[in-house]
Amino acid sequence: MSTRSLTPTRLVVALAAAGVIGGAGASFVTASIARAAAPASVAGAPAATAGMAAPAPAIAPTDFTQIVQRHGAAVVNISVSGMKKVAGQGIPGLDPDDPFYEFFKRFAVPGGQGQREMPMRGQGSGFIVDPDGIILTNAHVVQDAKDVTVKLTDRREFQARVLGTDPKTDVAVLKIDATHLPVVPLGSARDLQVGEWVLAIGSPFGFENSVTAGVVSAKGRSLPDDSYVPFIQTDVAVNPGNSGGPLFDARGEVVGINSQIFSRTGGYQGLSFAIPIDVALRVRDQIVAHGTVRHAKLGVTVQEVNQALADSFKLDKPEGALVASVEKGGPADHAGLKSGDVILKADGKPIVASGDLPALIGEASPGDKVALEVWRHGKREEITARLGNASDKVANATAIDDKAAKGRVGLALRPLDPQEQREAGVEGGLLVEGTGGPAAMAGVRPGDVLVGVNGMPVKSIEQVRAALAKSDKSAALLIMRDGNRIFVPVKIG
């Protein structure tokens, strides 16, 4: 499968804007950064000028050959195939120039001629973490796959079972029926330092067991819609097909799973991102034990604190996570967090950038208590919150049925979470969880995604209410259904 890429605009926005908090056995040191000894003085050569600093010793490049030789056999190639539903490209028997062609194309019934299934094939990488055939890779590598084939470096191939996937962290766990397999030693991203040498092994563009190297550029990066993952940023060359492959440190331990790239072209342009192995192992343990993954949720929307906001809130410096909104009935709401609070610490760990908070919450489990240090009204306060389950829809469907909407409409809506937005291919939008009255009579169905009212885009319940309040006898709802957008007129009851 292709390595996921991020557009420049999305990445810049993600690094600066709000995020929602709800994508070792090494017994050796194979290589290290060696410092060359200072050259000995040559007889007759002039002595160093007094007061001049001696030149810094050179740093020899890291030799990764031993890592590749010892652990390359534990890196696998993954091929997937399946069928994927796509919007129909044409209406059989109808000329594209026919005036009714576009009408039938847009309003074709779900499952009818407006949709079709297309063969889907892709490639990715993975690595063996258990000699009995447990393999880690990316969730997006095996998404929509019916058949998953794992190929080892000795050219043997196995049909793999997908034990489970976790789209929130983009981690998947596979199982093949084999024993006594080579495994990679596992390290920890916590010990990784910016500037350290790292290398990736994978199958870019299908070229199996390719090795690329670089350095750690940054740690704890927050990317769009991946608030549960504090990514490792590197300059290692990662391309489509590298997804799911291991990122090794100079000690030969796996510290991450290569997952995403930042690119204007779809190929490597100097920025690649890996999921910390610590995150992946927590996901693996839950999938192997229970088949599912549970994530903790605080229930707030946060944004970055810049200098202007720091001045406004009388903070010493622009740090922390500014609470923009609090999910009604969620853990933060029960704990007493309010919009305008600035979260400075979580369990004693400082929150420097807003993306630090979801990463810390992601390390916890539902039901855990977290001690928050909050800046409120010019002073520090301590608040303890019991984290909820990210799978719970606390802010469940909100009924659009009040005086502001001028009567009964018959819609029960809730905001889409980031994963649902990705699947629907929309930014914002509201999921229809229930219908009745006028909406049901008009043909709106549970599972539809409401993206606009009367020609205006809507991303919140409040925007829907405001738009309906301005409607007279009917409202035109823009609905996304099975990849198609249609307007549905609904009478205001």
**CA 203 to mean position of chain CA atoms:** 21
Q: What is the mean pLDDT of the chain?
A: 79
Nearest to 352 by CA among 308, 314, 310, 298: 310
Which of 20-24, 84-88, 97-101, 480-484 is least confident?
A: 20-24
**CATH hierarchy code of domain 296-389:** 2.30.42.10
Report which DSSP code applies to 151.
Answer: E
Q: Which of 71, 125, 140, 225 is catalytic?
A: 140
| CATH architecture classification, 4-23+184-290 | Beta Barrel (2.40)
Which residue reads 């009367």 in tokens?
454
Task: Tell me the Ramachandran region of residue 73: left when phi exceeds 0, alpha when psi lies from -120 to 50, beta otherwise.
Answer: alpha
State the DSSP H helix or E strand holding residue 278, giving kind and residue range, or none if neither.
Answer: helix 277-290
Active site residue 402: no
DSSP secondary-structure letter at 291? Answer: S
Q: Looking at 210, 217, 243, 354, which residue is catalytic?
A: 243
Active site residue 140: yes
Residue 354: how many other CB atoms lie within 10 Å: 28
Does the annotation count 460 as an active-site position?
A: no
pLDDT at 137: 97
The pLDDT of residue 89 is 53
Q: Is 213:64 a contact under the CB 8 Å cutoff?
A: yes
Return d(Cα 490, Cα 478) in angstroms, integer.
11
Token duo for residue 321? 């996570």
Tokens of 279: 């995150």
Q: What is this structure's pTM?
A: 0.64
Task: For 108-143, write each residue's pLDDT tens digit.
Answer: 444 444 556 778 889 999 999 999 999 999 999 998
Distance CA 57, CA 39 (A): 9
Is 443's pLDDT higher than 60?
yes
Q: Please give the Cα distance from 335 to 341 (Å, whole number).
A: 12
Domains 4-23+184-290 and 71-175 share a fold: yes
Which run of H or of E encompasses 141?
A: helix 139-142
161-219 pLDDT, tens digit per residue, is 999 999 889 999 999 999 999 999 999 998 899 999 999 999 999 899 999 999 999 99
Query: How far apart, in whole angstroms, are the C-alpha atoms of residue 141 and residue 168?
Result: 14
CATH fold for the domain made of 398-491 = Pdz3 Domain (2.30.42)
Fold held by 71-175: Thrombin, subunit H (2.40.10)
- The catalytically annotated residue of 166, 170, 225, 249 is 170
Chain segment 386-418, per-residue pLDDT in tens: 999 887 654 444 555 443 343 467 788 888 877
The least confident of 70-79, 133-142, 359-368, 433-442 is: 433-442
**What are the boundaries of each domain within the chain?**
4-23+184-290, 71-175, 296-389, 398-491
Question: Tokens at residue 65, please?
Answer: 């050959």
Q: Which residues pair with 83 in a beta bridge?
A: 119
